[in-house]
Amino acid sequence: MKELILSQREDDYWFFKQQYHTNKADLLNDIICMENNRVDRDAYIIFGIADETFELVGVESDENRKNQQMIIDFWNP
């Protein structure tokens, strides 16, 4: 994962988000986009990376922060 962040670019199977989604439809759209990536491999949405500078800003204080189980529950209600 560190290598992806250090690349300071997004690609077919990973992209960065500065903060967690506030809209469930946007989250769903991003998950589907990553699932249908052109290189057909595991894909990643990496949270806590600044939009233009690619600096690590973290998500500790993000009120919309979700853990893995919350994402799974959203995906499989």
Give the C-alpha distances (Å, rounded to integers) separating 71 from 2, 8, 9, 22. Answer: 22, 25, 24, 13
Tally the domains of the chain: 1
Domain that holds residue 13: 2-75
DSSP-derived letter for residue 31 is H
- State if pTM tops 0.75: yes
pLDDT of the chain, 77 residues: tens digit per residue: 899 999 999 999 999 999 999 999 999 999 999 999 888 899 999 999 999 999 999 999 999 999 999 989 988 87
DSSP-derived letter for residue 11 is B
Give the C-alpha distances (Å, rounded to integers) separating 29 from 11, 55, 61, 77. Answer: 17, 24, 24, 16
